Amino acid sequence: MALALADAGYRPILLDDFSTGHRRTPPGLPVIEGDIADAGVVDTLLAAHRPAGILHFAAFSQAGQSVREPALYYQRNVVRSLALLDAVRRAPAMPAFVFSSTAAVYGEPRAVPIPEDHPCRPVNPYGATKLAVEGALAAYGDAYGLRWAALRYFNAAGADPQGRAGECHDPETHLIPLALQAAASGTPLTLFGRDYDTPDGTCLRDYVHVADLCRAHLLALEALLRGEPVGAVNLGGGEGRSVLEVIAAVERATGLPVPVQDGPRRPGDPARLVADVARARGILGWEPALSDLDTMIRHAWAWERKRRGPA
Ligand SMILES: NC(=O)c1ccc[n+]([C@@H]2O[C@H](COP(=O)([O-])OP(=O)(O)OC[C@H]3O[C@@H](n4cnc5c(N)ncnc54)[C@H](O)[C@@H]3O)[C@@H](O)[C@H]2O)c1
Ligand SMILES: O=c1ccn([C@@H]2O[C@H](COP(=O)(O)OP(=O)(O)O[C@H]3O[C@H](CO)[C@H](O)[C@H](O)[C@H]3O)[C@@H](O)[C@H]2O)c(=O)[nH]1
């Protein structure tokens, strides 16, 4: 996102405590090491730079871990986001606020594709913490005039098409990088359940290219800066893909087999999550452009090879 902002002519300032992130940030962009809940750091930053907008990505985001450690998720995702919002309210000029929400706010949907007005009943604490922050944003908008967007991404995938950045979590829990790593290393990927009520028995997810996500953030930010309300918006490719389809696409992109071992269902995993993206089209004029599975996996594979270095 920092690269996308810089490419579009903005001057992003990165604030990261590097709890899960990487110190190898884009060259030439200012980076402040600090916690979004550290009032001293954030107040100083807001007073010195008077940013037009804040794009708030800082969170812990593993649904499975959130089931085991809910206290960590409420602390990291709710308490710290509220501290950041307090700083925003104190700021000399209140910036527009774009929040990374998630499809996990919906829980097990009644039907797919899921529109934004579908009931939100998260099935894991991760989704519940993101929904709690969305509630605060709506109330702060009504009471304090906060201009806000909550972008509910489905499954972020792919990598910067120019190869400047990509996914690198430690531990990695996401399907696409793990399937690529299984293809490259020969170490089996564990498939979390084949007994779901889906066409091939594996979970359906809606993968969306990270570059499409970044473009949607820019559009949301610019809509808010023009004074247009945005609110909650789904971001997905609009197509459900099963775990087995992803594995087949990884085999196509890499030309290598993906060894698979069957495992039990992962707690907190809904069977299907597919976005209705009509609202993003209507209010942001956004259309996913790179979110077909083969393109996303091709970009992710190029990044994975670059990250690994020469074999
Ligand atoms: N990856 C996905 O598929 C996906 C889907 C939906 C929503 N999201 C949301 O998008 C956001 C980014 O996800 P990601 O996959 O890039 O995660 P990530 O863990 O790679 O990035 C989160 C970043 O926030 C930083 N951070 C965490 N807590 C912080 C704090 N208190 N103060 C300062 N920095 C802090 C981390 O060091 C890291 O650099 C998250 O909010 C996540 O919930 C991700
Ligand atoms: O080793 C693995 C990893 C994943 N899966 C399966 O692959 C699918 C995708 O799993 P990911 O972990 O890649 O993604 P999630 O759907 O669990 O979660 C992602 O999307 C969510 C919203 O849909 C949240 O926002 C979350 O932050 C984000 O990581 C799931 O059915 C999962 O069970 C496996 O079978 N084996």
pLDDT single digits (tens) 113-126 = 999 999 999 999 99
Annotated active-site residue 10? The verdict is: no
Ligand 1 centroid from CA 62, angstroms: 10
User: What is the value of ipTM here, to two decimals?
Assistant: 0.96
Ligand 1 centroid from CA 99, angstroms: 11
Structure tokens at 199: 């066409």
Q: How far apart (Å, rounded) are the C-alpha atoms in residues 166 and 169?
A: 10
CA distances from 115 to 44, 241, 280, 309 (A): 39, 18, 10, 41
**pLDDT tens sequence across 135-159:** 999 999 999 999 999 999 999 999 9
**Among protein residues, the one whose CA lies closest to atom 19 of ligand 2:** 155
Look at residue 297 and tell me whether its pLDDT is greater than 80. yes
Query: Torsions phi, psi of 169, nearest 5?
Result: -100, 150
Which class for 131: exposed (0-12), middle (13-18), buried (19 or more C-beta within 10 A)? Answer: buried
Domain boundaries, the chain: 1-308
Look at residue 109 and tell me whether its pLDDT is greater than 70. yes
**Among protein residues, the one whose CA lies closest to atom 19 of ligand 1:** 20
At 311, is the pLDDT very low, low, confident or very high (cuts 50, 70, 90)? low
Which listed CATH number (3.40.50.720, 3.40.50.300, 3.20.20.80, 1.10.3720.10) goes with 1-308?
3.40.50.720
Asked whether 307 and 252 are in contact (CB, 8 A), the reply is no
Which class for 43: exposed (0-12), middle (13-18), buried (19 or more C-beta within 10 A)? Answer: middle
DSSP character string of 243-309: HHHHHHHHHHHHSS---EEEEPPPTT--SB--B--HHIIIII----SS-SHHHHHHHHHHHHHHHH-
Predicted TM-score (pTM) of this structure: 0.97
266 lines ligand 2 (CB under 6 A): yes
Q: What percent of the chain has pLDDT over 90?
A: 92
217 lines ligand 2 (CB under 6 A): no
